[in-house]
Every structure is written in C-alpha cells, then in structure tokens.
Structure 1
Amino acid sequence: MELTERFAWEGRRIACGRAGAGPPVVFCHGTPFSSALWQPFAEALSRDFTVHLWDMPGYGSSSQHAGHPVDFGAQADAFAALLGHWGLDRPHVIAHDFGGAVSLRTHLSLGVGYASLMLVDVVAIPPSGSPFFRFVQEHPDVLGGLPAYIHAAIVRAYIQGASHRGLRDDDLDALVRPWTGDDGQPAFYRQIAGYDERFLEENERHLGRVRIPVRILWGTRDAWIPVEVAQRLRSLIPGAELALIEDAGHLMHHDAPVPLMDEIRAWLAGR
C-alpha cells in the first residue's frame, strides 16, 4: 500500500493513502517512525475495511520544513484537517507512540468523533521521554550538525532499542532512512526539540471525558515506556480495556506482529 496522495495543509505536504472497502480505519504512527510501521497491517485489513495511512508533517514522505511546528498540537490540527479532507465521520483509529497523544488531542480538544480507539504502546500522559530524548532536547542544534555517519549510527542504535527481539537489518534500514540526508538529519533532532509535555498534561486532565470504546495494548518488554504507564492510562479512561503482549517491546509491530494483528481484527470485529 503506497502513499499516493498528497494533501496540502497550511504550507505542508502530507503524504497519505487509502485502500480497500468497508468501515474506515485510520492508523497513526509515532516518533521517530512513519506509516511504514502500519503498512503490512493496513494491507491485511483492506479486504474488509477502508484503511487510511498518513505520514505526519515532518515524518516519512511528508514535508520536513524547518519553520513548521511538529508538536502534538500541530499534528492534531493536521489530523483533524486530513480526516475532513477524507470525508470521514467517526472512523476507527489505531495509534502507536506519539500518535496516541495526537489522536487523543484530536478527539478531546478538537471534538473529532471516533467509532473506537486502539492505543498501542502510546505516548499519552506524562512523564515521558528517555534520557537520550531529554539530552537531544537540550542540544538540538549541536546534534543536527553531527557528521552523517555518526548521526546514522546514533539513530540506528536508538531505534534498535525500541525492539525487544531485535530488528532485521532491512527493517532497521527502512526506519532509519527518512532521518538521513540534508533534510532528514536536522528534522530528526527538530521533532524531539519541539516535543512539549504540556500537551500530555492537558490530555490527562480530560481523559475522564472519553466516551468511546478504547483498548490499550502494551508490550511487557517495552523499554521506552513501562507497563505501569499503561496501567495508569487505563485507570484514567472510563471503560478502557488493557491487554499486555508478552515478550514485545515498544515496536510490537516487529516483536509480536501476529498477536498484534489478532488483537486488531478482534477489536474491530467487535465494534
């Protein structure tokens, strides 16, 4: 499934695509990833659903302009505009990592309705951010000027740490590639520097207003965001369900693709 569409929004170029037929399902990726993580799952679901993928501005195949904010607020505004462009009314939304906070803000602060929401190892509530993440926030300009080979090695090590089982070289290459080159390298550090936890605090204050079905999936070996965060998130969302996936890290897509696909199908079938 290719991102063959380009949606122009406030000077940005958002790469997106859709396929299949049936009820709409929209996938939201996280950082430092792209819609490529969700592509195999979207393809598998396209027989029964109309699946929608997009790269957030600053990520993947979308534009990476230095002057454009890439924080949670900007991404939520972009998501709401894209859903309007697609003409979707109450789609099912499945989100990973940063996409969790974006989808929650789009629903809670912008009033966009969903049929259901599945949250997979998400950034959603404070605190968040690894020591590396915080270091980058303090030195974005210095790191953006690193020699390309050192930068590539840092990004490879960082992304590899998101998987409990370890990533194959070709999969790791695909995840690292958007963050290399003259545009990708500074964009990698810029999206971390623009990270603002105040949006997570705002989300947390409003989670009690969620009235849609929510299921939370979490890898028991997530080294980026511990399971305790998932448990607290479930306690804050009325009626939310939580399922723990054994031996999966933050990149459940690669660590446990079959259990993840089973969870997605069962969740959507029950809606």
Structure 2
Amino acid sequence: MTLLTDSLIVDGVRLAYRDRGQGEPVIFIHGTPSHSYEWRQVVPHIEATGFRAVTYDLLGYGLSERPVDRDTSVAAQTNLLEHLLDALDIDQASIVAHDIGGAIGQRFAVAHPERVRRLMIVDSVSYDSWPSSTWRKIIDENLDDFTSMSQDAFNTLLTRQLKMTVADESLMTGDVLQAYLAPHQSAPGRVSFFEHQVRHYDSKYTEEISDQLGRLTMPVRILWGEEDRWQPLHYAKRLSGDIPDADLVVVPKAGHFVMEDAPERVVHEINDFLGTPAPVTAHG
C-alpha cells in the first residue's frame, strides 16, 4: 500500500506527504529504519474518525528528497516540521511520533509548546537510549566504508535489524519486509540510508532537552511495545516520570514497531488519546 500521494516544497526541499480529512490536525512522524509505510494500518482509521491526518516522509527518507548537501539531523528535521506546519497553514496540531520521530516530537514540543495540542510518543528514542547496541556496531563497522557494500550485504544487514523491530518476526517478511527495504534498492538508496539516517543516530539530540521535559504542559501519552528490543521499557517509564501527568500505555506482545505487531491497539490508543474531534474550519 502506498500511503503518501503528494509532494510539497518546504523550505526549498521536496517532502512526500499525505493530507486527508477536514477536522482537527494530527501530524504523524515515522521512525527509522523506516518511512511513512509504517502508518499504513493506522492513519486511514484516524482520518475516518474525523481528524485531518498529515503524514510525511522525513527529509532523506522514503519518497522525500534525498539532498546531497542539506542537514537531515534530528535538529534540522525539527526545524523543517515547523516549516511544514506553516506551509499547510496549521497553527496547532496533535503529534503522533515514533522512534527517531519521537525525538523530533519531543524537541518540537519543548521549542514550540503553543503549537502542540497533544503529544503521543511511540517507542521513542530518548535520553541516552540510542543508538542501540546493534546499531552502534553497524556504525562502528560500516559508516566509514558503506559505499563499497553490495546490495545483498546491505539487504542482509537491514533485514536482520528490521526483524528485531517486531515481537512476531513472521510479520517482517514478504511484501512488508520488501516495502521497508524498497527505498534502499540502489546505490544512491544505500548511500542515503547511511548519510541521512544512520549518521544522525546520536543521543545528543534527546539528551540536550531531557531537563526541559518537565516544562511540557500539553497532554502527553507514551505508547510502548512491552518487548521493544531497541528502546527498553525502562526509558518509557523514565519519560512518564519526567513529563508531568503523562500517561504510559504498554502494549503486550509488541516490539519496537508496535504498529506492525498491534495496529488495532495503536489505532484505539490514538483515538482514545485524541478524543472527539474538535470542530475546525476547513483548510483551503
């Protein structure tokens, strides 16, 4: 399933996105190694509930532009999110953010609290939680010479990592696995993966805001797969302790890509958190 259908120029770069529905806006931010495909079993249901759902591929990811000379770090992606909201004429939105997208969501909420109606953090990187040990090994062994890696070797590496994202590894096979691998089935795709994603696996982006999480006043829900092998549950508990009045919802038999293991539960939790859509004037 192709979730994204359109493109938009934002701050001089092209982002692939989807903007559907006429209600209160909700922004979905995906994680890594991923793209908006991860939301395919979630976003259409949120749209159907009566929300305006905006989903996009981060710069350098998925179907978005892969710039040669543009910063695609978490900090830069956070700035780009502000430009995206401006381009879509959205003053305030709820944010549902996963993994590295969760770092973007945290940073944006800290920097622009008036623009975040609600924040849901899904199996997010936080504090010093990332990169995980397996990604650290990949960075140490491959980041300096990845251009010489064959497609088969790359696919083997990324498949091994992707299978760690689910509690039920049978879910990360066949067409689903191929969809996650798809953006990287070429030399430019492999280069982009390391340059735009892996190179920016750096906990400084969450550590430098960790002492500001206690200032957040918008409703926050933390949704976590109990069997997350990359972001252990104790980080979710730490977040829920540091963010005032944050809810923590733990999903059993689910891993880091909780939306693959338990999509119906994710839809339920998002709808429950967002509540009844507030009336919003139609966007033009």
TM-score range, shorter chain: over 0.9
Shift of 1:10: 4.1
Q: Which amino acid aligns with 2:188?
A: D
What corresponds to 1:178 in structure 2?
A: 183
CA distance in 2, matches of 1:198, 1:92: 25
2:161 corresponds to which of 136, 147, 158:
158
Amino acid at match of 1:79: L
Q: Which residue of 2 aligns with 1:235?
A: 241
The alignment partner of 2:144 has SS state of helix
Residue 167 of structure 2 aligns to a residue whose secondary structure is coil
Q: Which runs of 5+ in 1 are unaligned?
A: none
Distance (whole Å) between structure 2 residues aligned to residue 6 and residue 270 of structure 1: 29
Partner Cα separation in structure 1 for residue 257 and residue 55 of structure 2: 18
CA offset digits 1:146-172 (Å, max 9, x no partner): 011111111111111111111231111
Match of 1:251?
257
Find the aligned partners of 1:141 and 1:110 in 2 and give their Cα distance.
36
CA contact (8 A) 1:80 1:112 kept: no
Q: CA deviation at 1:185?
A: 0.3
Number of equivalences: 271
Higher relative contact order (CA 8 A, sep 6+): 2
- Residue 68 of structure 1 and its aligned partner are, at CA, apart by 1.9
Is the aligned partner of 1:140 residue 2:143? yes
Partner of 1:7: 8
Distance 1:263 1:110 in 2: 24
Report if the CA contact (8 A) 1:21-1:49 is conserved: yes
Report the CA distance shift for 1:136/1:257 in structure 2 as closer, same or farther (over 3 A). same
User: What letter corresponds to residue 178 of structure 2 in structure 1?
Assistant: D
Q: Deviations over 1:34-53 (max 9, x none)?
A: 11111331111212111111
- Contact 1:124–1:203 (8 Å) recurs in 2: no
Question: Residue by residue, what CA displacement relative to the aligned partner does 1:16-61 show, whole Å, maximum 9, x if unpaired?
Answer: 1211221111100011111111133111121211111100001010
Q: Is the 8 A contact 1:121 1:218 kept in 2?
A: yes
1:18 partner SS: strand
Residue 282 (structure 2) aligns with:
none
- Cα-Cα RMSD: 1.6
**Normalized against structure 1, the TM-score is what?**
0.94
Give unpaired runs (5+ residues) of structure 2.
278-284
Partner Cα separation in structure 2 for residue 98 and residue 192 of structure 1: 11
Q: 1:86 aligns with which of 82, 85, 88?
A: 88
Does the 8 A contact of 2:131 with 2:201 survive in 1?
Answer: no
CA contact (8 A) 2:110 2:216 kept: yes
- 2:165–2:256 contact (8 Å) kept in structure 1: yes
Aligned residue for 1:248, secondary structure, equals coil
AA of the residue aligned to 1:37: E
Asked whether the 8 Å contact 1:144–1:189 carries over to 2, the reply is no
Inter-partner Cα distance in structure 2 for 1:153 and 1:11: 35
SS in 2 for 1:26: strand
Percent identity of paired positions between Structure 1 and Structure 2: 30
Residue 67 of structure 2 corresponds to residue 40 of structure 1: no
**How far 1:107 moved relative to its partner?**
2.0
Aligned to 2:216: 210
Quote the residue 1:123 is aligned against. Answer: 125
For the residues of structure 1 that align with 2:100 and 2:200, how far apart are their CA atoms? 13
Following superposition, which runs of at least 4 residues in structure 1 exceed 4 angstroms of deviation? none
Deviation string for 1:123-182 (max 9, x for gaps)? 122232122311333331312320111111111111111111112311111011112212
Counterpart-to-counterpart distance in 1, 2:183 and 2:114? 30
In structure 1, C-alpha distance between the alignment counterparts of 2:112 and 2:220, rounded to whole Å = 18
| 1:224 and 2:230 are equivalent in the alignment | yes
